[in-house]
Structure 1
């Protein structure tokens, strides 16, 4: 029997850092952007919930949320949390047919599940129809089951996972029959605005979602920036920039204290 706690920890998706450094005290941003050299790919940050499909070398699969495993191939009853299993089971069954050969002991597909009425931002995407988009794939080496759970957690939290490049990500998406999150632009890293105000203006051109399932498209959550080899990745959320700039504006309007 595989150690499910280790599988769960090995395959959890790490937090993506904000493009401008986040102040942990108040959620504002510092004037410290992520450093990109060469091409930067901008993708839509779809506002849903993270799901993962884990392929094992024996052809079995598991489906999980960001934190928990929800079901596995052969299960009669599954955890219905946020509609993740219902949305991803057909994808898992198709993905299992490609195997994990050449990738590692486990191959993990990370998908954003969105649009369902179980999710807060569903109205931005349509009338409540669930949908999904692939945004990352990782392979897990076959020697890591010998590690203890604390070592695994530290490895994951310090960026140890081996993620697919843009080319491989798109190839795998085609093989399992899913779409990736929308690619918005490619730009040289030197041309990205370095300051917070400039970045917020830049983001304005990408305010509406491109993945609405019906009706008029609503707002998206932001932009994910990534190098083609995924060596650097960061997220730019509209709410972070708007909160920071609002605080700056309010601070500028406050009268200065007069010293006596």
Structure 2
């Protein structure tokens, strides 16, 4: 088994290959004004709806030898054994106990990346929707397995970024993701429903009403009354298609349309 030595490895490459890719909005965004257009992402078969939690993306990168890194969406913040970690948004404090439970000496050479939404505390302006006492929580929303990291580490930065943005990361499909979460004792993002793709609203106005019906309040409040949710994430069963639908996008778009009438 190849060993990845954190003292000598190219951490910029590790950071790039484990970043979470951007998720498109279910209805496409108009680049001119940020409003939603009527074109939407095409799904087939069953579609899983999960709550979109309003926090910040964190990741735990578990290396083949059981060491780990903790990062935000854009940068690595901490490596196992660091005396001082980057305190950005409380991600390290929230995820370090989780990371310690995930480490192991692997029997293969892959890198496994756990993506968790860290929320509450002072993470975002929406934290009050989840806690009145600044508690911090986290929910697992994706897991990626990088099967040949040694090869990736030999690529130039531009090639790694193109590979990632082109869908090169292998994410666990829905059933495997839930099984992994159960086995590790990690709470996943709340599952709201599984629906047929043909039953998804295609019009912006109807999708706005659909959000209000499916996800009016958060299901992951840490204390006190539950505030509004941010929206939903839609995923095909094999995770080949994924999109997000946020209340704020639909509310902004419909306000603008009403103002023009």
Contact kept in structure 1, 2:55 and 2:123, CA below 8 Å: no
Q: Is the 8 A contact 1:91 1:176 kept in 2?
A: no
Q: CA deviation at 1:250?
A: 0.8
Secondary structure at 1:239 match in 2: helix
Match for residue 129 of structure 1?
135
Q: Which has the larger radius of gyration?
A: 1
Unpaired runs of at least 5, structure 1:
253-260
State the match for 1:239 in structure 2.
Answer: 248
Equivalent residue, structure 1, for 2:36: 29
Quickly say closer, same or farther: Cα 1:187–1:56, change in 2 above 3 A.
same
Q: Secondary structure at the match of 1:9?
A: helix
* Residue in structure 1 matched with residue 80 of structure 2 by the alignment: 73
User: What SS class does the counterpart of residue 25 from structure 1 fall into?
Assistant: coil
Which SS does the other structure have where 1:121 is aligned?
helix
Question: Whole-Å Cα distance in 2 between the matches of residues 208 and 85 of structure 1?
Answer: 27
Q: Distance in 1 between matches of 2:182 and 2:247?
A: 30
Report the number of matched residues. 250
What is the rounded CA distance, in whole Å, between the counterparts of 1:119 and 1:101 in structure 2? Answer: 39
- 1:141 Cα deviation from its structure 2 partner: 2.8
Matched with 2:185 is 177
Contact 2:56 2:123 in 1 (8 A): no
Runs of 4 or more above 3 Å deviation: 99-102
TM-score, normalised to structure 1, is 0.93
CA contact (8 A) 2:58 2:117 kept: yes
Q: Does the 8 Å contact 2:70/2:79 carry over to 1?
A: yes
Q: Which moved more, 1:114-123 or 1:201-210?
A: 114-123
Structure 1 pair 101–23 and aligned structure 2 pair: CA distance change class (3 A): farther
Return the offset for 1:117: 2.1
User: Is it true that 1:145 corresponds to 2:153 in the alignment?
Assistant: yes
Structure 2 equivalent of residue 255 of structure 1: none
- Alignment partner of 1:194 is 2:196: no
| Residue 172 of structure 2 is aligned to residue 164 of structure 1 | yes
- Superposed CA RMSD in Å reads 1.1
| Maintained 8 Å contact 1:129/1:213 | yes
1:145 offset after TM fit, Å? Answer: 1.1
Unaligned 5+ segments in structure 2 are 1-7
Separation in 2, partners of 1:176, 1:61: 16
How far residue 100 of structure 1 moved from its aligned partner, in angstroms, is 4.7
Q: Aligned residue for 2:47?
A: 40
- State the shift of 1:176 in Å: 2.1
Q: C-alpha separation between the residues in 1 aligned to 2:136 and 2:13?
A: 30
1:257 aligns with none
Deviation string for 1:203-228 (max 9, x for gaps)?
Answer: 11211000000110001111000011
Tell me if 1:207 matches 2:212: no
What are the superposed Cα offsets for residues 44-88 of structure 1, whole Å, 9 maximum, x if unpaired? Answer: 000000000000001100000011100011111111110000000
